[in-house]
Amino acid sequence: MHDQQGYYLEDLEEGMEESFAKTVTEADIVLFSGISGDTNPVHINEEAALKSVFEGRIAHGMLTASFISAVLGTKLPGPGAIYLSQSLRFKAPVRIGDTVTAKVRVKDVVTSKKRVILETTCQVSGKNVLEGEATVMVSSRED
């Protein structure tokens, strides 16, 4: 892998894994609310969030999911990979102070289409809070 180019299609094989960990802060949630426009009180208003099913503030699901993008764009497959699709299943809330570990594992390499299918998860304390699958396009050495 290089600074400007991650793994080439020919370098990828089933079972390869990478991860990225980030502790979610108050600032992350406030900034994500501003960037995304999602000002749902469950994310930014403790008083309102206490009355919700979560009994307190939670991080945006898409903030958590964005940590998968960090892995795909910087580690596996890395720079040059083009995100084509992502399925997401939210399993549990993420709260301020939680350390989220996004994990990506190569599930299949479709050489004929220059596509890689990846299993994607986010965990807090070893428990899946998000599960899904991503498809990315990856360059071949011959491109």
Superfamily per CATH, domain 9-24+60-137 = Hotdog Thioesterase (3.10.129.10)
- Angle at the Cα of 52 (from 50 to 56), degrees rounded to 5? 35
pLDDT digits (tens, 9 = 90+) for 12-66: 999 999 999 999 999 999 999 999 999 999 999 999 999 999 999 999 999 999 9
The domain spans of the chain are 9-24+60-137
Q: What is the pTM of this model?
A: 0.93
CA atoms in the 13 A half-sphere facing the CB of 48: 8
Q: Is 125 exposed, middle or buried (0-12, 13-18, 19+ CB in 10 A)?
A: exposed
The C-alpha atoms of residue 114 and residue 106 are separated, in whole angstroms, by 13
Residue 2 has pLDDT above 70, yes or no: no
